[in-house]
Amino acid sequence: MTDLPDHLDLDESDVRVRPGRRGSRPRTKQRPAHSDAVDGFVTGVSRGRYDVLVPPPSRRRRDVERALERGEGETLVAVTARELGRGGVVVGDRVRVVGDLSGGRDALARIVGVVDRTSTLRRSSEDSPGGHERVLVANADQLVVVTALADPAPRPRMVDRCLVAAYDAGMDVLLCLTKADLASPEEFLALYDPLGVPAVVTRREDGHVVGVDELRERVAGRVSVLVGHSGVGKSTLVNALVPDAARAVGHVNAVTGRGRHTSTNAVALALPGGGWVIDTPGVRSFGLAHVEVEDVIGAFPDLAEITTACLPLCTHLPASPGCALDAALAAAPEGERAALGARVDSLRRLLLSRSDDLEGPR
């Protein structure tokens, strides 16, 4: 009689997960149980079912990265192995899947592992400061904050909060100011100039949206999360960037978000030239109670350097006694004081938007 190796009897219930801040990586008692697992990219999550893009069979061993970056392959429906827990897999996650990979109507694949994340965009639950937080999107490298210059009026406070969330996640930020045909962008741009945040300005002209080309260049080949209030023109931009987005997500119209306004489920849409935009229909801002002061200051290396001279518990806010930022301002040469002052003010504005959350429910 031939002795079969034990590992052939293993399945995903044998996966051992080691959780951690930077995601979880599956540990199997004996790895060969999932030697047939293929790499995938999570594009959507709904009621415990995950849309997972897997490369075409010919590219599952080689060239996987390129296929997933370009959105090539087939989107499967998958569930997660029990050990991965609830909420353990989010849009943007790189996963390993096994099971029925045929993609047929009733086919169900199974996610057995999550690859270490390069970034996690998180939000605290807004009614429990300092409490529960959850990951919204994994592995994104850019947060595109979409805000209208008029109709609806811009909300710097919301933009500030998005910036803090992005810095916490280690993501780049891009401001996208829409509806410049209704109001000038100058004032708003000046507000963010000291922070060095890049901005793209779009406007409607003769029925077309001008400025989308620059946005397209800035999202090309990257994984960008789009966030913005209802009515700012986010859908218009997503439509321009991903012309067949509605088709790609089937019967649910992820572009307009119609019928899913109360949902905060993110949806990843492949850009025609490579890269992804992740639309976040119900996400308008971020609970920031989980964010550490250092994570915000870390995004401003010049100011971070100055704050090394502060007392250990310095909040760096305006009334903070002996804050080295104030000393640096007082000592700054006349010609540099205004620019440094603007930058310090901007940083303090961001720190304030975070400390608001620590004080109690809003």
User: How does 8-47 read in b/e, with b if 16+ C-beta sit within 10 Å?
Assistant: eebebebbebeeeeebbbbebeeeebbeebbbbbbbbbee
DSSP state, residue 192: H
* 236 touching ligand GTP, by CB under 6 A: yes
Q: Which of 235, 280, 307, 346 is in the footprint of ligand GTP by CB under 6 A?
A: 235
Identify which of residues 3 and 206 has a Cβ nearer to ligand GTP in the complex: 206
* 203 touching ligand GTP, by CB under 6 A: yes
DSSP 3-state of 337:
helix
For residues 256 to 295, the per-residue mask of contacts with ligand GTP, x marking binding by CB under 6 A and - elsewhere, is xx--------------------------------------
* 34 touching ligand GTP, by CB under 6 A: no
Other beta carbons within 10 Å of 319: 7
Contact present, 134 and 122 (Cβ < 8 Å): yes
Q: Which of 92, 185, 228, 275 is in the footprint of ligand GTP by CB under 6 A?
A: 228
Taking CB under 6 A as the binding criterion, the range among 111-119, 156-164, 199-207, 307-315 that sits at the site for ligand GTP is: 199-207
* 154 touching ligand GTP, by CB under 6 A: no
Residue 132 labelled as part of a binding site: no
- Token pair for residue 198? 């890049």
Residue 29 labelled as part of a binding site: no
H-assigned helices in 234-287: 234-241, 245-248
With left for phi above 0 and alpha for psi between -120 and 50, is residue 79 left, alpha or beta? Answer: beta
Taking CB under 6 A as the binding criterion, the range among 39-47, 72-80, 177-185, 344-352 that sits at the site for ligand GTP is: 177-185
* 213 touching ligand GTP, by CB under 6 A: no
Residues annotated in a binding site for GTP: 178-181, 228-236
Q: Which residues bind ligand GTP (CB under 6 A)?
A: 178-179, 181-182, 202-204, 209, 228, 230-236, 256-257
